[in-house]
Chains A and B, each alone.
Chain A
């Protein structure tokens, strides 16, 4: 793993491009983006709809491979990985949180949270032990046996966060995670992310339209037309105060 200025490099993107060939004319969604994320980074991607932030997020989440350029996640070059290896990489090293929570409605909260470990072939006892600890931390201990539809929006998103980090990923990908929450619940989830970032050294890459959400990040990357427009480093304190 590469040692960088701040710590270990989790993600390295060099001049990556993503072109979609589906329609009448090819669409270049990401045009030569370079990016480095290191352990403990908390980066917010911002920009208007269609600016390419979702595509970049997908690429960084190993959901897709770039059309050109180098993209490494913990030294694994994505271009060289087949679908199975990409899946394994996601399963072991990446966590996801989405706007619509995306909990499986037919599983209980406990079952949802333990899913990544069990999919990876981990033992049920160990998974449940960790799930309980995490549930305690996100304030859902009393909800473990409930089904998602019995939870409030905030609770669902906290369960989703617990699921995203149970396997101790190197990178957490979050897409509009507060988009479906009221401000109070939104703030609570952001605070949780901030704590995980600080205490566990979890690297977070978050896409958002909301300035308030972005304010929780240490770095804000603004995108336009598939390229990075500018990068704003935020003071640690400012970021912390944004989520308190």
Chain B
């Protein structure tokens, strides 16, 4: 331990800049991983917590398929009482208008007061102050008026509301004023969505949500909760046995959480994979630092060995060095990660909210789990990264090291293994890329990416060697003698700089790959938007997000739109989620005649998609999105079995169309087909085609005027919806860029520390140069050119490998994760810009080492001899 303190810790303290650079590198790597973990957790946490708090003591729930079920079916469920108590529920999202004029989301729960008391504990503030709970009669009195609502104490405090105040709340497309009849203490269901919770009578909720006569689910509180499995099986059996309750299912509340989790899985998996790039680069830094400290301290190691220190001790010393750096890096990474998570949550919120679920706005606090992740990943990987150089240190013999600077003997020679290893890895990558997904996740795809990345990293020495050979003349021409010296210096230090160059090249290749993928994807989506979005107006209820399918239009709104003199056709579309293959798929019902006449879907198969769509009308046939076919391995002619209120029904797939609005897969049927199995649906969106010559903006304004204060409807004109689609698209990938920038920053940090070390190591040569007449400016120029060359090599490899990776991302990883076809498009402008920026950035990274080099005092170095 004393040796560790004297030999390692003091050295780390003396080499402050290099130690700090390495620690920062690891810290950023770990931070990114933690931040993404937290971000992923926060999007699920909000949802799962809401399920948990709203569920209360509910053991099982009876649900319909997709859009709830008819409340009359409740009569068929009287037998449920044999198992315990039952309580019907309406649940959905609404928007409250706050005092400052903004709107805030609320989770609203509609209950049957008399039945619900045993399920959930509501602590009303005024009763709690009297140390008692309200009786059912008292509760009933409070909620009996359909305009009554209970909010939470937390929400009230935040918006300076009190009992007796009024508040405007929009449910679906209707804005209504409610009377606040009580406030709930911050306990139980009141904690849902951090206090953004409203409680109302079930009848009031049915009316507000346009769900008259329907129920979302029936909660069951078992008498004997230990028998939950048996009860679940028995109830399921009895539900299917009765034709009138055939379409109902029994499940545990947590199941909804796991379905959402599965839906988000691919998105989270890809973010997580991306977050590991920065960590990978951080590990390159560890390897770099430890190998540099081994290289520069060979003589000292030799001395220790001569004094009797064993190989094992030397090995442990350098592994401990890595541990010391990693421990500090991981600890700092945890703190940085928590801070970064706030940014990451913001960056991903738009995507998750628009494409998946309403989420919590804050990352979870640091917990033991995160500490375990940080150290559990950071420490072993750091040790692994340090293992090679540490073993090299242990191999140093006393005599070899005592001979002094053995640099002259270590001139780099290119041998076959520098070409064979990359070739093997690239071949492996090719094989991996051809393997199918595992459980819907592109595990082999990422394996392939990893193999490409390591292949590229191992190729770096050969590329540097080639540059040393061919670059001499060109560099001399361009930069005179300083160029020649820089080139010679790099060629002479290949084993030392390879790691930094590789780390930078890896980060850059990922950046290039992601840029090409996003560029191509954006181009594809833009084309798709251009081709398919041909309607004049797109409408949805104000409270409806792209995914929350519980907000529907009031029949009055549908009537106003359809009867508007300028409207040629209004395609009423209804969509909702249905459990399918362990996850969720979206089932949609549209008016096929209108779509065929006015719409412009792009079909993947068959070639005459419209005819295939026409053939669906009146049949149990559907058209499905491309992502559905890829995810579930289906094609035209196959059938898909969907649970309906009338039992499972097989639908034939007639056509496959391109769709980039959601990755979960969409199954669309004609409205007439739909109503054979489901009740007449209210629309979740309206696609409006206007008569020739009609002014879309004028019609929009006119419709909004007619809706007046009663209905809250979002109407996008064609131009606006296109902008909206691309806005969501861009926000989806903002996190990707952020992750990339961090990885590149860490890599450039690596270049700077490597150069600094090289300079300290080359002190004598630089002194010699100064003696033979190189002035400070020339030394500085030389080092900056060296840095720039490292950037150039990294960027060149990055571009080549990046293009390869982009093909992998588009054709394997994306297809397996999301099921989208992306047309290749090269963002030339971006690539040129970023290449120039990287060159400038790496050259700038050379400035500090260059200044250090130019300040080296010639005589001191010579005097050492």
Contact = CB atoms under 8 A, between A and B. Distances in A.
B862 A63 contact: yes
A118 B411 contact: no
Contacts of A106: 488-489, 491-493
Interface stretch (A3-11, A67-75, A92-100): A92-100
A84 B773 contact: no
B488 A87 contact: no
Interface in B363-407: 407
Contact of B772 (A105, A119, A121): A119
B765 interface: yes
Interface string B408-427: 11010000000000000000
A196 to B, nearest CB: 17
A59 to B, nearest CB: 9
Interface in A103-152: 104-107, 111, 115-116, 118-121, 124, 147-149
Contacts of A104: 485, 488, 765, 768-769
Interface in B759-790: 764-765, 768-776, 778
Given A105-B407, A148-B408, A149-B408, A116 B865 contact: no
B476 interface: yes
A111 B484 contact: yes
A90 B492 contact: no
B75 interface: no
A90 B476 contact: no
Contacts of A118: 480-481, 484
Contacts of B408: 105, 148-149
A212 interface: no
Nearest to B777: A84
Contacts of A175: 862, 865
Contacts of A115: 481, 769, 772
B130 interface: no
A136 to B, nearest CB: 21
Contacts of B163: none
Contact of A119 (B407, B764, B765, B774): B774
B859 A88 contact: no
A116 to B, nearest CB: 5
Contacts of B485: 104, 107
A155 B771 CA distance: 21
Most chain B CB within a 10 A radius of its CB, from A58, A87, A148: A87
Contacts of B227: none
A116 B411 contact: no
A17 to B, nearest CB: 16
A58 B859 contact: yes
B858 interface: yes
B775 A88 contact: yes
Contacts of B480: 118, 121
A143 B409 CA distance: 18
B773 A88 contact: yes
B863 interface: yes
B488 A90 contact: no
Interface in B812-865: 858-859, 862-863, 865
A198 B480 CA distance: 34
Nearest to A166: B772
Nearest to B778: A119
A64 B859 contact: yes
A83 interface: yes
A207 B667 CA distance: 92
B863 A124 contact: no
Contact of A116 (B488, B764, B772, B859): B772
A87 B859 CA distance: 12
A54 interface: yes
Contacts of A58: 859, 862-863
A92 B776 CA distance: 16
A102 interface: yes
Contacts of A218: none
Contacts of A121: 480
A219 interface: no
A191 interface: no
Contacts of B481: 115, 118-119
A90 B865 contact: no
A58 B858 CA distance: 10
A99 B865 CA distance: 9
A63 B771 contact: yes
Contact of A91 (B491, B768, B773): B773
A124 to B, nearest CB: 7
A121 B481 CA distance: 8
B495 to A, nearest CB: 13
A96 B772 contact: yes
Contacts of B772: 90-91, 96, 115-116, 119, 163
A100 B865 contact: yes
A83 B776 contact: yes
A84 B778 CA distance: 11
Nearest to A121: B480
A63 B476 contact: no
A121 B409 CA distance: 32
Nearest to B407: A105
A102 B859 contact: no
Contacts of B862: 58, 63, 98, 175
A118 B774 CA distance: 10
B492 A105 contact: yes
Contacts of B863: 54, 58
B773 A116 contact: yes
Contacts of B489: 106
Contacts of B771: 61, 63, 90, 96
B839 to A, nearest CB: 23
A105, A111, A118: most-surrounded residue (chain B CB, <10 A): A105
B409 A149 contact: yes
Given A102-B768, A175-B865, 13 more contacts: A58-B863, A64-B859, A87-B776, A91-B773, A96-B771, A100-B865, A105-B492, A119-B769, A119-B772, A120-B773, A121-B480, A147-B411, A149-B408
7 contacts: A58-B863, A104-B485, A105-B492, A106-B492, A115-B769, A116-B773, A149-B409
Interface of B: 407-409, 411, 476, 480-481, 484-485, 488-489, 491-493, 764-765, 768-776, 778, 858-859, 862-863, 865
Ranked nearest first, the 5 interchain pairs of A and B with the lowest CB-CB distance are A91-B773, A106-B492, A106-B488, A118-B481, A149-B408
